[in-house]
Amino acid sequence: MFVRLTILRPHTRSQQPEGLFGPAYALRREGRCPQGFEDWLDDALDWLEQNLISPDFHEPRAVFWMRCQRQRIVEQMWALAVILREADENVRVVTTTRPGYIVYEDPAQVAAIPFRDTFRGH
């Protein structure tokens, strides 16, 4: 099982809902993090930077999914989701067993070009 946490805005390259990393880093960079959540944001992003592979990856149609069994990583993604919701972003959670055509994978995540029905609740 895979999980993807997104905001409702489409990502410019994949045209799929944007994941949480870009918006979370924008909150930090632009000083827009909700008051009282700055340390939590820094802790979550720092932990993910240290524990999640950030591949040099250039398939514009692919989106990343976390493996549900990697509980600590998913927990940190939920922390980002809470903070982004506090910043008035609409966060969506999608789970699937069929993320698409897998073009990258490691122990914690996969990047996949979505199937036509990937985001329709399958």
**Domain boundaries, given as residue ranges, for the chain:** 2-113
- Eight-class DSSP state of 24: H
pLDDT at 122: 42
pLDDT at 119: 72
In the predicted model, residues of the chain with pLDDT beneath 70 are 14, 120-122
pLDDT at 59: 87
β 17-19/2-10 pair status: antiparallel
pTM of the full structure: 0.87
